């Protein structure tokens, strides 16, 4: 009450009421102008960079497709001349020189030209004179022409194959000439040539907005979507275009495709405009909100001054009551928390007493059983009874280890972790569950386990996990007509994965979420702690216990992952 009165009585210091709003207004105007400039520019360049990257990827894919198409055409035509160069009928025509043999080869070349979609195929003697051609019965037939001046002919004389892109002397059409020598041993008989024209390919490429041309090693254009550039030097990159250059396999050619960048710039401009409009709208809304807030602040100040005197009296009357209520609520909350902590502490203390008591009471009869078993074993060391007594001795050792764990739990102690032989663990687990297995007559399929394979853990606790998984598998198959259980073994680097699979009804989808939750069980007499404890044991050893997702009509599969011992 005194503090409120003092605040109301203190007069604020004198100041210029117009100077501060005026400076704030100028600062806001400068910030708004900066945002209107910076945000659209940043948006433009960011969107443009992303759009260019997308155009580059699309252009690269298109250029690769065109290069592959061209390579496929060349490979097909190279195969044609290579096969013809070894054809016996071709060699006979070159050696014998009879008109009938030449006509037979011409007819064959005509059929082959139609099947391979080449322009023309023809056969020349060693002096360059053409004796057979696929257009042998046409007015523009190559038969009788001398092409010894051609580079593709002279090149085939020096090395087996040659190629030349040039205008046809008869047709006047540009095309690629692929040649291959025809030899009989070391004797040159002639040269077979196939001409490939690219009009259809250029027409297909022209339907795309991407200008494309193919250049030779010296930069001369030979195939192009712009016919005026053919046989000219490589044209410069058009302004506003992104060039993509790829080599053509098996040649010195290069495919160059120019991707227009106007779409990227246009998209970036639209995005920048949208960002500018959005910023202008946000600035307008912010200014409107600022003005509204100013009016609200002034009105609120007036309202507070008006209500101050009235609220002061109400505050005095309610302050003491509110404080008392808060104190009572805090005291009740502390009391409830202390009661809950006390109940939990009593439970834990009781559990520790029960654990220690059970462990203590078991040790005395257990020691007696072990002593009697050892005495009986000493009486019949090699007989069947001796073997059974040895097993009883080992079981008493295991029970002793369990009671040690119970006492260790009461003392908050941990067991010794080390290398555990995997084969011994599985054999002991099967022995511990033998009564259940024999009662249900359930076969267990075992994997091949290397004798020296060991995992990191504690033998009794690893056995506890396997016994729990096997017991669950036995119980899940009580009403199955032909039950079985399979134990699998997988190696994953420095990990070993044991799988326990049954052909029971399997897990339900709704069970997966609560499978490893404490006290969640579908058994009438179960506690819902077996899988929880087993998973905790596996994690203590640096491993994991999990279940495969349920599959309709299949049983359940659990996976125990443990580290390999060094």
By CB atoms closer than 10 A (0-12, 13-18, 19+), residue 47 is: buried
pLDDT of res. 176: 92
Residue 282 lies in a domain: no
The pair of structure tokens assigned to 512 is 């997966």
Tell me the CA distances in angstroms from 246 to 55, 71, 251, one per residue in order: 16, 12, 12
User: Which residue, chain included where needed, has tokens 């097909």?
Assistant: 76
Residue 358 lies in a domain: no
Last residue in a domain, options 151, 182, 197: 197
CA distance 520 to 512: 11
E strand or H helix at 259: strand 254-260
pTM: 0.42
pLDDT of res. 561: 95
User: Three-class SS of residue 500?
Assistant: strand
Rounded to a whole number of angstroms, the CA Rg of the chain reads: 47
The pair of structure tokens assigned to 411 is 């003392």
Do residues 560 and 466 touch, judged by C-beta distance below 8 A? yes
pLDDT of res. 544: 94
DSSP helix, strand, coil percent of the chain (3-state; round to 5): 55, 20, 25
Residue 219 lies in a domain: no
H helices within 412-458, ranges in order? 422-432, 434-440
Indicate the number of domains in the chain: 2
Residue 48 lies in a domain: no
Residue 474 belongs to domain with CATH number: 3.30.565.10
Last residue in a domain, options 140, 168, 197: 197
pLDDT of res. 336: 67
**How many C-beta neighbours within 10 Å does residue 465 have?**
28
Residue 132 belongs to domain with CATH number: 3.30.450.20
User: Three-class SS of residue 1?
Assistant: coil
CA distance 553 to 5: 80
CA angle, 121 then 122 then 124, to 5°: 155
For residue 419, give its domain range: 415-563
Q: Of the candidates 477, 466, 456, 485, which has an alpha carbon nearest to the alpha carbon of residue 565? A: 456
Residue 236 lies in a domain: no
Do residues 548 and 512 touch, judged by C-beta distance below 8 A? no
Residue 557 lies in a domain: yes
Last residue in a domain, options 197, 219, 254: 197
The pair of structure tokens assigned to 206 is 């022209």
Residue 254 lies in a domain: no
Per-residue pLDDT 10s for the chain (566 aa) are 444 444 344 444 444 545 656 676 677 778 777 777 787 778 777 876 887 788 788 878 888 888 899 888 888 988 999 999 888 889 888 887 788 888 888 889 989 988 888 989 999 998 999 999 988 988 888 898 999 899 999 999 888 999 999 888 887 889 999 999 999 888 889 999 999 988 888 888 988 888 898 998 888 998 998 888 888 888 888 787 888 899 999 888 999 998 887 766 667 677 778 877 887 888 888 878 888 888 888 888 888 888 888 888 788 778 878 888 888 888 888 766 665 544 444 454 555 556 666 765 676 587 678 777 777 777 777 677 777 777 787 778 777 766 765 555 444 434 578 899 999 999 988 888 887 777 777 889 999 999 889 999 998 899 999 999 998 888 888 778 888 899 999 999 999 999 999 988 888 877 777 787 776 666 655 556 788 888 999 999 999 999 988 887 788 899 999 999 87
Residue 541 lies in a domain: yes
């Amino acid at each position: 009450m005194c503090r409120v009165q003092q605040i109301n009585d203190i007069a604020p210091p004198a100041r210029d009421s117009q100077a501060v709003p005026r400076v704030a207004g100028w600062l806001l105007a400068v910030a708004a102008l900066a945002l209107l400039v910076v945000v659209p520019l940043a948006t433009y360049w960011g969107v443009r960079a992303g759009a260019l990257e997308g155009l580059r990827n699309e252009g690269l894919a298109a250029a690769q497709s065109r290069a592959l198409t061209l390579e496929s055409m060349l490979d097909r035509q190279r195969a044609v001349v290579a096969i013809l160069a070894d054809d016996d009928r071709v060699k006979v025509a070159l050696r014998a020189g009879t008109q009938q043999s030449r006509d037979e080869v011409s007819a064959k070349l005509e059929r082959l030209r139609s099947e391979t979609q080449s322009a023309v195929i023809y056969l020349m003697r060693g002096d360059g004179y053409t004796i057979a051609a696929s257009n042998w019965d046409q007015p523009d037939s190559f038969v009788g022409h001398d092409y010894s001046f051609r580079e593709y002919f002279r090149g085939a004389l020096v090395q087996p194959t040659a190629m030349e892109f040039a205008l046809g002397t008869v047709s006047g059409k540009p095309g690629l000439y692929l040649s291959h020598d025809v030899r009989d041993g070391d004797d040159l008989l002639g040269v077979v040539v196939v001409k490939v024209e690219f009009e259809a390919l250029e027409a297909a490429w022209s339907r795309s907005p991407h200008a494309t041309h193919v250049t030779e090693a010296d930069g001369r254009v030979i195939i192009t979507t712009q016919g005026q550039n053919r046989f000219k030097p490589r044209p410069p990159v058009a302004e506003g275009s992104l060039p993509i250059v790829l080599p053509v396999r098996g040649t010195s050619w290069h495919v160059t495709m120019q991707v227009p960048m106007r779409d990227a710039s246009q998209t970036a401009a639209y995005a920048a405009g949208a960002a500018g409009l959005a910023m202008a709208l946000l600035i307008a809304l912010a200014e409107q909100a600022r003005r509204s807030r100013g009016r609200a602040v002034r009105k609120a100040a007036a309202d507070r001054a008006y209500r101050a005197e009235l609220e002061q009296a109400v505050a005095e009357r309610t302050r003491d009551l509110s404080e008392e209520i808060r104190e009572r609520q805090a005291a009740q909350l502390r009391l409830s928390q202390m009661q809950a902590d006390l109940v939990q502490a009593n439970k834990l203390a009781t559990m520790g007493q029960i654990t220690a008591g059970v462990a203590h009471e078991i040790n005395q009869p257990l020691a007696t059983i072990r002593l009697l078993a050892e005495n009986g074993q000493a009486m019949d060391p090699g007989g069947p009874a001796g073997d059974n007594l040895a097993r009883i001795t080992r079981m008493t050792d295991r029970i002793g280890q369990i009671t040690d764990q119970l006492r260790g739990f009461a003392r908050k102690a941990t067991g010794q972790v080390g290398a555990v032989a995997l084969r011994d663990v599985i054999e002991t687990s099967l022995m511990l569950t033998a009564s259940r297995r024999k009662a249900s007559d359930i076969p267990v399929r075992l994997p091949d386990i290397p004798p020296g394979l060991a995992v990191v853990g504690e033998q009794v606790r690893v056995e506890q996990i396997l016994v729990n998984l096997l017991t669950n598998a036995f119980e899940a198959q009580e009403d199955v007509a032909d039950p079985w259980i399979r134990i699998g073994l997988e190696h994953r680097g420095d990990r070993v994965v044991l799988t326990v699979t049954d052909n029971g009804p399997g897990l339900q989808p709704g069970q997966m979420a609560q499978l490893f939750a404490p006290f969640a069980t579908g058994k009438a007499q179960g506690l819902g702690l077996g899988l929880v404890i087993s998973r905790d044991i596996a994690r203590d050893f640096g491993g994991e216990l999990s279940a495969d997702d349920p599959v309709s009509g299949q049983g359940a599969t659990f996976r125990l992952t443990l580290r390999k011992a060094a």
